Amino acid sequence: SPDGARLYIQGLRSDFVKRDGSWRELVTPLGLRILESASMTELGRIDETVDELSLSPEGKLLAYVTFRVEDRGQEWSKRSDYRLHLLDAKTLKTVATTDLDGASRLVTFAPDSRIAYVASMGGAPPPRVLAVSTSTGKRLGEVLGSAHFIELIPLWRPLGP
């Protein structure tokens, strides 16, 4: 958090095991954990496969992307059902959600936190940047990229001296 009071930790573990003569991926979601920084006490947990997360400039909203993992018994697990979640960072209550077209790797906010921007890498090419209302989860627009990858750079500066 901007004041250093909370830590937001997310991840997943991807292992490859050999079964029946071939390698396959096993994904273990580690979820999203919210900790008090000083004591490392867990304040909350979201048990979903969380891929990306970002805190709004003033620290009031937490945006994170979830997806579903299916073990197909093949080399790579299938990832689907990508969704952007906007959470009140203090109460840990959901403010809004929106479905995404596919893998979405980067999330950032407008300086006033009224819009979240998501780089969507999935769906039909090319990749795109989506603008999403943080109060309703409604898509406000999108810009198509011209390459295989888009990078978002935050439009705000951290709080402080």
* pLDDT of res. 4: 87
* pLDDT of res. 157: 53
* pLDDT of res. 154: 60
> Tens-of-pLDDT digits for all 161 residues of the chain?
888 899 998 888 888 888 778 888 878 888 899 999 999 999 999 888 887 888 998 899 999 988 888 776 667 777 778 889 999 998 999 999 998 887 777 788 988 999 999 887 765 667 788 899 999 999 998 887 766 656 666 655 554 54
* pLDDT of res. 40: 95
Q: Side chain identity at 7, as an amino acid letter?
A: L
Residue 152's nearest CA partner among 128, 132, 133 is 128
Residue 71's nearest CA partner among 25, 29, 103 is 25
**Which two tokens mark 1?**
């958090």
Residue 54's nearest CA partner among 139, 154, 157 is 154
